Amino acid sequence: MIASCALVGFSVALMVYLIPTQIVESSGGLSPRLFPYAACIATGLGGMALFVRSIRRPSSTNSEVKSTFSLLPLSVLVSLATFIFLFEKVGYFVSAPVLIAALMLIYGNRSPLIVLTTTAVSSISLYVMFVYGLNLYLGG
């Protein structure tokens, strides 16, 4: 229930304060505020649905919550931090394949052929999309 209230509050705060003050309204065509507003509305509706669901089906008081510690989130966080560090130091062509391969290994893919193929295809596809599709130079 707390998470649903936080989602609704966050989306309302974004819609009332952040989007109007940080995104300039344009005079013609699609407004640059359209997609941020749509995302805020979707987040708010999701929070409301979660709130209604938590009221309709309250958790039983006898249920025990098992506390489990997982290294998965920490591993992903370390991988992303390493990616950012490598991206700044050596560029895209070294850092992106390292990140993709590391994430595949973290999530349990052990086939070398699949890891290498996915890493190569993903890195090249992302590079082509950013450089040629969006005209954003990735470095390296």
Mean pLDDT of 17-30: 82
pLDDT of 61 > 90? The answer is no
Burial (0-12, 13-18, 19+ Cβ within 10 Å), 134: exposed
- 32-36, 64-68, 79-83, 100-104: least confidently modelled range: 64-68
Q: Are 16 and 49 in contact (CB under 8 A)?
A: no
User: Tens of pLDDT along 109-120?
Assistant: 889 999 999 999
Write down the pLDDT at residue 62: 57
User: Tens of pLDDT along 62-81?
Assistant: 556 566 667 888 899 999 99
